[in-house]
Amino acid sequence: MVLCKLRFPYSGNFDRRALLRAALAVIAVVITALVSARTALANEDSLLRMRSTSRISLGSSDHAVPTSFVDATGTHVGYHMDVCNRIVQAIRQRFDMPALKITTVATTLATRFAMLNNGTIDIDCGHNAITGAGLQQALFAHATLISDLKAVTIAENRGQSLASFDGRTVAVVVGDTAIPLLRAAARKSQAKVIEAITRDAAAAFSLLAAGRADLVILPEAIMIAQRNRTKDPSRFVFVEGSLRTEPVAVMVRLSDEKLLDVANEVIDAMMRTGEMERLYRKWYVDPVPGLGEGLNLPPSPKLRALFANPGSEMLDF
């Protein structure tokens, strides 16, 4: 590093404004250099960088149970964490990187795209619904999940529709596809709802449980997991229907086509050998520690069709 001294002409009077302007100019140069370095890092071939650093960073949600979450031991686990670990295993073997170490970084629906594209994480292993808007911000691997976006309310409101919640509070997660869908549904039914926008699924469901929201909208599996964690799951019931059925995938930054190819090859093999369905049953059907009796969500016909034809979800985009 080269250190430079700043020299200012001395005119007999100490010019504080000139000094401040010069200092701000230096700070601007430093910030620009740091941003440029960060941008270069994000645009660099991640596989090459992994070889030089022996590290890969995985993004994981804290509360997207069972897709990716933090268990009682503080470890990031879940369906997509298992998929991402298989991808890392393939990178180690294929590119001769046995010492490749994993760093796990907590992400949210609101931060995941920025953290991918500024180089903070290499793969996001959270619950990422594939949408047209999302495809402009990241590269999605083959979908591993088909998810229904649903609403839950308390048992006293059983049988009501979204239109019945006119003037009442609906809890949603910032950055989720539920927000524009809720607004569209409210316009269609001419219902005026109050949005309670929260950080994550646990926070959204807690508003309903505490009586501070009348309805919560989340992906079905995540909703069931949150409900099963309460003292009385029967207190919470689904509103009939779903806002949308969404394919869900892990994703990489827009410049990482080589890494995407590796991820897709791994996912393709897992689906064709039956490994993906076994993994799905582990997290979505069978009992999971900390989730009571399990989610009991067997593979739907759409998911079975996806497993039989990896990547077929992209026919809709």
Helix, coil or strand: residue 198: strand
Q: Average pLDDT of 74-83?
A: 97
Query: Which pLDDT band holds residue 108 (cuts at 50, 70, 90)?
Result: very high
Residue 14 or 270, more confident:
270
In 3D, which of 283, 199, 204, 286 has the Cα closest to residue 248? 283
Q: Token digits for 2?
A: 């080269």
Q: How many CB atoms lie within 10 A of CB 116?
A: 26
Q: What is the pLDDT of residue 49?
A: 93
| Mean pLDDT score, 207-217 | 96
Domain extents for the chain?
45-146+247-316, 148-245
What angle do helix axes 220-228 and 201-209 make, rounded to 10 degrees?
A: 60
pTM: 0.83
- Report the pLDDT value the prediction gives residue 43, as an integer from 0 to 100: 47
Mean pLDDT in residue range 185-214: 93
- 148-245 matches 45-146+247-316 in CATH topology: yes
Q: Is the pLDDT of residue 186 over 60?
A: yes
- Residue 65 pLDDT more than 70? yes
Q: What fold, for 45-146+247-316?
A: D-Maltodextrin-Binding Protein; domain 2 (3.40.190)
Share of the chain above pLDDT 90, in %: 74
Residue 35 has pLDDT above 70, yes or no: no
3-state secondary structure the chain: CCCCCCCCCCCCCCCHHHHHHHHHHHHHHHHHHHHHHHHHHHHCCHHHHHHHHCEEEEEEECEECCCEEECCCCCEECHHHHHHHHHHHHHHHHCCCCCCEEEEEEECCCCHHHHHHCCCCCEEEEEEECCHHHHCCCEECCCCEEEEEEEEEEHHHCCCCHHHHCCCEEEEECCCCHHHHHHHHHHHHCCCCEEEEECCHHHHHHHHHCCCCCEEEEEHHHHHHHHHCCCCHHHEEECCCCCEEEEEEEEECCCCHHHHHHHHHHHHHHHHCCHHHHHHHHHHCCCCCCCCCCCCCCCCHHHHHHHHCCCHHHHHC
Residue 293 pLDDT grade (very low, low, confident, very high; cuts 50, 70, 90):
confident
pLDDT digits (tens, 9 = 90+) for 232-269: 999 999 998 889 999 999 999 999 999 999 999 999 99
Q: Of the given ranges (75-89, 113-127, 288-302), which has the lowest mean pLDDT?
A: 288-302
Mean pLDDT confidence for 2-20: 46
pLDDT at 168 over 50: yes
Round to whole Å and give the CA distance between 281 and 296.
9
| Rg of the Cα atoms in the chain | 24
Question: Given pLDDT bands bounded at 50, 70 and 90, which one contains residue 32?
Answer: very low
User: For position 256, what pLDDT does the model report?
Assistant: 96
**Which amino acid does the sequence have at 36?**
S
- For 137-148, letters b (16+ CB in 10 Å) and e give bbbbbbbbbbbb
**Mean of the pLDDT values across residues 56-73?**
95
Q: What is the CATH number of domain 148-245?
A: 3.40.190.10
The confidence band for 20, taking pLDDT boundaries of 50, 70 and 90, is low
| Least confident stretch, 88-92, 186-190, 281-285 | 186-190
| Residue with more model confidence, 123 or 16 | 123
- Per-residue pLDDT of 262-292, as tens digits, reads 999 999 999 999 999 999 999 999 998 777 7
